[in-house]
Structure 1
Amino acid sequence: MNASAQAPVTTLPPLLAHGEVRLSAEQIYPRLFDAILEQRLAPGSALPEQALGEAFGVSRTVIRRVLGRLCDQQVIVQRPSHTARLAAPDPQQARQILSARRLAETTLITLAAQRSRPTKIRQLRELVARERQHHEQGQRCTAIRLGGEFHLKLAEIANNAPLTRFLNGLVPQTSLIIAQYEARPCSHCAWQEHAAIIDALERGDGEAALALMHQHLDHIEAKLDLEG
């Protein structure tokens, strides 16, 4: 029996609200990602297209698009002729992902400080406002996902395509790691640190933005228990 066949399968309940119209792949992606971060799907779980299609009330073709995006971000592992399964980074892999992310982020924040414009600053603030709202409503996993989107928006502002593609795989994996290994709550919320980074970018203070990014990544790593 292959490894994917042995992976645990979590049966999802219907994920369409009463009277809700059929969802697109773009609408399903955040819902499925949030379910993953909430650990309604255990690390290593198989993600059969048929079961996911039934849960969301859509065809397997739509689900394939969602799984393809998650595969590109390395949140799921998908091999030819095998059922997709959720990634399960071990502590050593988690440390490597965090180290690689720090290298990418510290370069991208310097570039973003040089290229930020009022329109981009406004988009960042709108994203952080949503992150704060979900945090204050106790929707931790949605806030984690939106926090990741904040970092990807920074990469977009930096306008370095290879680094952006690199970070596009690291940030979602970090969200997965936070959901799996977070043990110690941080004294500062991520949205507050994101807001401080935006303030530095708006002032055009690249050195402050870089220092704040290092501090933010330090806090992410400090709240993880990777020793068990």
Structure 2
Amino acid sequence: MKHDSTMDEGLRLSIDSTQEDRAHAIRDALRDAIVDRRLAPGTRLPEAEVGTLFSVSRTVARYALQMLAFEGLVQSERNKGAIVSNPSPEEARQVFAARRLIEPGIVATAIERIGPKEIERFRQQLAEEDHHKARRGVDAKRSEIKASGDFHLLLAEIAGNAVLEKFMSELVARSSLVIALYGRSGVSSCGHSEHEDILAAIEAGDSARASATMLRHIDLMEGDLDLRPRDGLTLRDALQV
């Protein structure tokens, strides 16, 4: 995987390819725990504990945390080490402002590239959202939120722009972090019915309607925020490793 030049190249070169693969796996596990709200904003992520939980050295754990920091999901604080980022209300507004700028364009591009196979993938995605929505419990809600985010990532994938796809992956992750801190408890702010409306406009080839529906959808997601903080699990409990 190609790494941005702003990351610590010396740290990457200090580990071998097997350790680097392990660092990516740790990054993915932590990322999933943050995105699906098992790790709350402000949760400490000590290198030593991460290394112990995943049976790796602190150097490998540090590299995994550094990748998360580059994505904006983790931040380092003096004398505290790495913690799950705790976005301010202004940062939350900026995340959704970025989505308003990016996603209508992604929708328009996806319409130009979409075909029957891609429509079927969206149908399967909506069916997965339905499945999780019908279930009860915290795990079901987390799965529903993840599936809802996957709808937006699928749009970016079908649009066929790798840079935008990566950017959307980071935006969806940051949105989940914002929702973890400010979203109403038990409510998926990424509405399934709105996804159906977006897909209907895409199927009709109506770029203007699809983009307008996406903007309304993002407005509703942001409007669902109530600024009340959420408690999360400990690092060990969240990862269950």
Q: TM-score, normalised by structure 2?
A: 0.68
User: In percent, how many aligned pairs have the same letter?
Assistant: 39
Partner of 1:4: none
Could you tell me how far 1:78 is from its partner in structure 2? 5.4
Matched residue type, 1:124:
F
| Deviation string, structure 1 residues 35-83 (Cα, Å, up to 9, x no partner) | 435654331222134423544x55358866764664453222359xx84
Matched, 1:51 2:32: no
Partner of 1:193: 194
Asked if the contact 1:114/1:206 (under 8 Å) is kept, the reply is: no
Could you tell me how far 1:99 is from its partner in structure 2? 0.4
Q: What is the alpha-carbon distance in structure 1 between the residues aligned to residue 67 and residue 126 of structure 2?
A: 23
Matched residue type, 1:218:
D
Asked if the contact 2:111/2:207 (under 8 Å) is kept, the reply is: yes
Give the alignment's Cα RMSD to 1 decimal. 3.3
SS at match of 1:113: helix
Q: Are the structure 2 counterparts of residues 88 and 198 from structure 1 closer, same or farther at C-alpha, using a change threshold of 3 Å?
A: same
Q: Where do 5+ consecutive residues of structure 2 fail to align? A: 1-21, 230-241
Could you tell me how far 1:91 is from its partner in structure 2? 0.3
Q: What is the alpha-carbon distance in structure 1 between the residues aligned to residue 135 and residue 62 of structure 2?
A: 31
Asked if the contact 1:34/1:142 (under 8 Å) is kept, the reply is: no
Could you tell me how far 1:30 is from its partner in structure 2? 6.7
Partner of 2:232: none
5 Å matches for 1:9-20?
A: none
Q: What is the alpha-carbon distance in structure 2 between the residues aligned to residue 108 and residue 39 of structure 1?
A: 26
Q: Where do 5+ consecutive residues of structure 1 fail to align? A: 1-23
The range that moved more, 185-194 or 138-147, is 185-194
Q: What is the alpha-carbon distance in structure 2 between the residues aligned to residue 188 and residue 38 of structure 1?
A: 13
5 Å matches for 1:102-117?
A: 102-117=100-115
Q: Are the structure 2 counterparts of residues 29 and 98 from structure 1 closer, same or farther at C-alpha, using a change threshold of 3 Å?
A: same
Asked if the contact 2:111/2:202 (under 8 Å) is kept, the reply is: yes
Partner of 1:89: 87
Partner of 2:144: 143
Q: What is the alpha-carbon distance in structure 1 between the residues aligned to residue 196 and residue 60 of structure 2?
A: 35
Q: What is the alpha-carbon distance in structure 2 between the residues aligned to residue 118 and residue 197 of structure 1?
A: 16
Q: TM-score, normalised by structure 1?
A: 0.72
Matched residue type, 1:194:
H
Q: Are the structure 2 counterparts of residues 204 and 136 from structure 1 closer, same or farther at C-alpha, using a change threshold of 3 Å?
A: same
Could you tell me how far 1:190 is from its partner in structure 2? 1.6
Q: What is the alpha-carbon distance in structure 1 between the residues aligned to residue 196 and residue 151 of structure 2?
A: 10
5 Å matches for 1:43-192?
A: 43-55=41-53, 57-59=54-56, 67=65, 70-77=68-75, 83-138=81-136, 139-183=140-184, 190-192=191-193
Partner of 1:19: none
Partner of 1:210: 211
Number of equivalent positions = 203
Asked if the contact 1:34/1:141 (under 8 Å) is kept, the reply is: no
Higher relative contact order (CA 8 A, sep 6+): 2
Matched residue type, 2:221:
I
Asked if the contact 1:47/1:86 (under 8 Å) is kept, the reply is: yes
Q: What is the alpha-carbon distance in structure 2 between the residues aligned to residue 147 and residue 210 of structure 1?
A: 18
Could you tell me how far 1:109 is from its partner in structure 2? 0.9
Matched residue type, 2:88:
D
Q: What is the alpha-carbon distance in structure 2 between the residues aligned to residue 152 and residue 44 of structure 1?
A: 26
The range that moved more, 27-36 or 44-53, is 27-36
Q: What is the alpha-carbon distance in structure 2 between the residues aligned to residue 158 and residue 97 of structure 1?
A: 20
Q: Are the structure 2 counterparts of residues 137 and 100 from structure 1 closer, same or farther at C-alpha, using a change threshold of 3 Å?
A: same
| Deviation string, structure 1 residues 1-20 (Cα, Å, up to 9, x no partner) | xxxxxxxxxxxxxxxxxxxx
Asked if the contact 2:23/2:60 (under 8 Å) is kept, the reply is: yes
